[in-house]
Amino acid sequence: MDLKLDHHTKDGIEVVDVEGEIDVYTAPRLRELLIELVNSGYYQLVVNMEKVEFLDSTGLGVLVGGLKRVRAHDGSLDLVCTQERILKIFRITGLTKVFGIHDTVDEAITARKAEK
């Protein structure tokens, strides 16, 4: 299973759908997409990880890098994830404190709108 990436706008927020494995081989493609979105002026991002089957530290690094980029524009990068095997990686690295992690895309968007 390779990495599949897609994105669409919902309520003014850019939702990035990620499917498959994010590792040292595939993570550069996610990095490029996040950079491309920020360069195109999308600073409010939600990364939907519900169909991610594998995530390693390279993937975590790309997500942290994306967060840095959107924050430079007062933006946000929230995650959607309910899979325990993926959440565990955020927990052991302490990154649950860095990202907003939500159960659904709608919930992530609602929480983001409420914060504005």
Partner 1 sequence: MPEMATVEVSFTALPAHVRTARLVATAVARRSGVDEALLDEVRLAVGEACSRAVEAHRLYCPAEPVRIALTDSAGRFEVEVTDTGGAGRGDLTAADGITAAAEPGGSQRLEHGLGLAVIAGLADDVQISESPGGVSIRMSWPAVGLGR
Footprint of partner 1 (CB under 8 A): 21, 23-25, 54, 56-58, 60-61, 64-65, 68, 85, 89, 92-94
β-bridge partners, 13: 10
Q: Which is nearer to partner 1, 81 or 109 (CB)?
A: 81
Residues ≥6 apart with Cβ < 8 Å to 77: 34, 45, 46, 47, 63, 66, 67, 70, 99
The least distance separating partner 1 from the CB of residue 39, rounded to whole angstroms, comes to: 17
CA distance 54 to 49: 10
- Shortest Å, Cβ 115 to partner 1: 23
Which value, in Å, is the radius of gyration of the alpha carbons in the chain?
13
**Between residues 21 and 107, which has the closer beta carbon with respect to partner 1?**
21
CA 74, CA 30: separation in Å to the nearest integer?
21
Task: Provide, rounded to whole angstroms, the least separation between the CB of residue 64 and partner 1.
Answer: 6
| Residue 5 or 64 having the CB closest to partner 1 | 64
In whole angstroms, the minimum distance from the beta carbon of 21 to partner 1 comes to 7
- Given the complex with partner 1, which of 27 and 37 has the nearer CB atom? 27
> Can you tell me the distance from the alpha carbon of 33 to that of 95, in angstroms, rounded to the nearest whole number?
21
